[in-house]
Structure 1
């Protein structure tokens, strides 16, 4: 007669499950499923425990999905192993799951686990040449409601790779911002404090918003854009709405928070009596230190007019870096043109000629000119070629189409603005 028995899991058995978990790890066996997953399945799925008196000495936890079942956890206290308890636990949990009409019951085991007799005794077969792949979902289901309320979203994972050219800027952002945020344990090992806030400045259309989104994509963090113009209509006024928005953001585990044209709410404070906007600037200056106390988030502020920002706003301790994002160089413009020209004709187009002709263009200017060239070529093909005879080669824009649209496109950034930007780099950049 055995001195132990098997019964269904009860909520008071959580302490026993924790003890089993810790005893398993003490033998240098890292369970496949996290403790939180095991406890969740104990409550929601199928779990049985082996007890001796009031002590939990073993447990088996299973989860069913359609006709497939999984053993999430199986463990026995070391002093009770070799008595057939594991085999009995597997039989019991399989019996609880039988109502699902399972066709298959599977289990994942760490490579370091050598005690597999319970599985072989129950008829489990080791599958050869299999690999286990796992991916962590960055945003938990509980956060999705709060994210939706904030108007935030998860961005496609490939945005970082889709940023054409701008290699120097990408490398700087990768090294200074993304690396310590993506690898916080490694950063801590080297004494690096992950950044909490950054200002991106530069002429209009140079890609500041694109880089903010790309960093969120690269980190796989939610992207939340704060629009002061929308908050201004809230009953408590802009300052109060701004404060509440950041309190709501604090509910997220991770976030890249973006404020574009931040000079609208952080311009130089002056004048008597103080203007209403000075109260908003004061509130923002209070919000940033509180934001910095919360790990797992990054504030990105962008401005076209960094000279107009309040001097206290850029002070050390509020922003870790003040990074210039300027006009693309020849290599960057080459990458951008090659991205926007259709693949079927890109080798037939004089890309080098387009790069030379578009000197001083911002990324937005290049994209506009490329889209316009494609539209122009389409209209020519449909309305000018009355015969609609099939072309001998691939159809699409030609070099002349691009050069015409470049000539018709007015550069966003004037020479004077470009010169001011270079001065701002010398005076204000902090990289």
Structure 2
């Protein structure tokens, strides 16, 4: 009688792993880990196979993380079960992971799996009252190195929720950008082509960069900011460095690519002979159509001076939307003030008055005024004590409230020079009618 034997996994065994996977599915057992994960662990982690002659009749795949080990896959062909192969496979893969100094080895099995003897024979204990939670992380490990070379980042997941106020802008960006990109299959059913490139325009300090980052956070895509000023020092020149950067971005699975103050490299072309800057604009105009052909990417360009952009840059076919980001309305200003005022004193501050006094303020202006009021209140509490300057808890009386007052905020608001003048804002409103595209 021919006997089975156990050996280390070889790359030529992938077809055998696939056959084992399919045999599980045929018995209505849905493996916990996806086939791609199992295949990747076979190559990168720890895997053993049971063979009968040249045929793979069983396999066990394990993954070690610090002192915790996981059984990613365990299967034998139906006709070879109940022969002790599973128990031997578990023992073998555990031996391969032993050098990691594991103090716990765990396995997740589908609820429909009834063949538990191999685990029980190896001393595993079935845990009761446990639930398995899973969340897919869109960033793959192999992307981290090229992302790092590009200076890209994985942003915190809550940036979108933390954008205070600006409800109209958030709703517009959610509907036009996030929805078709996050739900691309659904968008395809409705014939919606997900956007590939957008321009955000508006006065300085209105939060265009914040929104670009929030979009990346909302999509859970890497955020890559392209700095033309840094690329200008490249030996290949700005145009060549820009081309090379976008070729490297093409290696990423997903990305939100952000260019701030894009008017610096896409301004109106004029003059004869062409200037070096016109060559950069020409290069960018060639890059965008190629970028648009790659799914899973979004180019966000921001500008304070949309009238300065070259007319060819904004035309249909390059940018899907040209979206205005204006000054916050009353609701947005209230949300911002509530975010910046310390929780301990927010109930004592006349927020409605601050909202009224900060009409025409940008988000950056409001944040500056709030931070300034807090600093002033702190200095007043510490140093307005006869000049001793003792910054210790003893300067506060028992039960005395600490934190800025309404007057502190009003003083700071009065001393804050607004970023956006009335003339600039009127021009912005005109630009919405002439150049906006939502």
Q: Give the alignment's TM-score, normalised by structure 2.
A: 0.91
Whether 2:411 is the aligned partner of 1:404: answer: yes
In the alignment of these two chains, the number of paired residues is: 431
CA deviation profile, 1:83-102 (whole Å, cap 9, x unmatched): 54334433443455556665
2:256 aligns to what? 256
CA shift in 2, pair 1:410/1:147, >3 Å: same
Pairwise CA distance, 1:245: 1.1
1:384 aligns to what? 384
CA deviation profile, 1:385-428 (whole Å, cap 9, x unmatched): 33834264321111111111111112111111111111111122
Whether 2:436 is the aligned partner of 1:429: answer: yes
1:371 aligns to what? 371
- Contact 2:357/2:413, CA 8 A, preserved across alignment: yes
**Where do 1:38-77 residues align within 5 Å?**
38-65=38-65, 67-77=67-77
Pairwise CA distance, 1:2: 5.3
CA shift in 2, pair 1:317/1:385, >3 Å: same
Pairwise CA distance, 1:67: 4.9
1:394 aligns to what? 401
Q: Identify the range of structure 1 (245-254 vs 78-87) with the bigger mean alpha-carbon deviation.
A: 78-87
CA distance in 2, matches of 1:352, 1:364: 19
Pairwise CA distance, 1:171: 1.3
Let me know the Cα RMSD of the aligned residues: 2.2
Pairwise CA distance, 1:271: 2.6
Q: Identify the range of structure 1 (61-70 vs 284-293) with the bigger mean alpha-carbon deviation.
A: 61-70
CA shift in 2, pair 1:78/1:186, >3 Å: farther
Pairwise CA distance, 1:105: 3.1
Pairwise CA distance, 1:287: 0.2
Pairwise CA distance, 1:145: 2.5
Q: Identify the range of structure 1 (230-239 vs 351-360) with the bigger mean alpha-carbon deviation.
A: 230-239
2:138 aligns to what? 138
CA shift in 2, pair 1:354/1:60, >3 Å: same
Q: Identify the range of structure 1 (344-353 vs 31-40) with the bigger mean alpha-carbon deviation.
A: 31-40
Pairwise CA distance, 1:103: 4.6
1:228 aligns to what? 228
Q: Identify the range of structure 1 (26-35 vs 373-382) with the bigger mean alpha-carbon deviation.
A: 26-35
SS of residue paired to 1:203: coil
Structure 1 spans left out of the alignment, 5+ residues: none
CA shift in 2, pair 1:382/1:123, >3 Å: closer
CA shift in 2, pair 1:98/1:139, >3 Å: closer
CA shift in 2, pair 1:26/1:175, >3 Å: farther
Whether 2:239 is the aligned partner of 1:219: answer: no
CA shift in 2, pair 1:65/1:429, >3 Å: closer
- Contact 2:167/2:332, CA 8 A, preserved across alignment: yes
CA deviation profile, 1:285-342 (whole Å, cap 9, x unmatched): 1000111111211110001111221111111111111111000000000000111111
Pairwise CA distance, 1:3: 4.7
Whether 2:279 is the aligned partner of 1:279: answer: yes
2:106 aligns to what? 106
Pairwise CA distance, 1:66: 5.1
SS of residue paired to 2:299: strand
CA deviation profile, 1:148-191 (whole Å, cap 9, x unmatched): 22222222222111111001111111121112222323333333
Q: Identify the range of structure 1 (245-254 vs 87-96) with the bigger mean alpha-carbon deviation.
A: 87-96
CA shift in 2, pair 1:77/1:172, >3 Å: same
Pairwise CA distance, 1:360: 0.6
Whether 2:264 is the aligned partner of 1:268: answer: no
SS of residue paired to 2:328: coil
1:289 aligns to what? 289
1:415 aligns to what? 422
CA distance in 2, matches of 1:92, 1:276: 65
2:391 aligns to what? none
SS of residue paired to 1:130: coil
**Where do 1:84-103 residues align within 5 Å?**
84-97=84-97, 103=103
- Contact 2:2/2:52, CA 8 A, preserved across alignment: no
Pairwise CA distance, 1:284: 0.4
Structure 2 spans left out of the alignment, 5+ residues: 389-394
CA distance in 1, matches of 2:396, 2:52: 87
Pairwise CA distance, 1:238: 1.3
CA distance in 2, matches of 1:250, 1:233: 22
CA shift in 2, pair 1:132/1:267, >3 Å: same
1:159 aligns to what? 159
